[in-house]
Amino acid sequence: MDWYTDPEKAVLMNELTRKIRQECHQIVMTKLPEKQRVVFIMRVILDFTYREISGILGNSENAIKARLNRARTSLLNHFQSQQLSGS
């Protein structure tokens, strides 16, 4: 049986997925500067458009895209360093 057809494995996979999401949210909340964190949450988690975020925060869409790019780069670097250190 595959993990998605075996009820026990499905429960374990759901728990693992929940833990990964929880860890990612914690990293976002603790590792990103506030301006990057706000844009990341609004775009990635809440699914706002760049235009909506721009209007709410009063910044240009290009500024919003730049902040999101910096946030993604910071998170990628964090995960890569964790992988290299074996954590």
pLDDT band at 17 (very low <50, low <70, confident <90, very high): confident
The predicted model scores a pTM of 0.72
Total domains in the chain come to 2
Helix (H) or strand (E) holding 54: helix 50-57
Structure token pair of residue 14: 């759901």
User: Which of 17-21, 33-37, 71-75 holds the top average pLDDT?
Assistant: 33-37
As a whole number of angstroms, the distance between CA 37 and CA 29 comes to 7
- Of residues 75, 77, 68, the one with CA closest to residue 36: 68
Q: What is the pLDDT of residues 48-64, one digit of tens each?
A: 999 999 999 999 999 99
Residue 63 has a pLDDT of 98
Mark whether 46 and 78 lie in a shared domain: yes
Max Cα-Cα span within the chain: 52
Mark whether 11 and 41 lie in a shared domain: no
Of 36 and 30, the structure prediction assigns the larger pLDDT to 36
Helices marked H in the chain: 7-31, 34-40, 50-57, 61-85
Domain that holds residue 1: 1-31
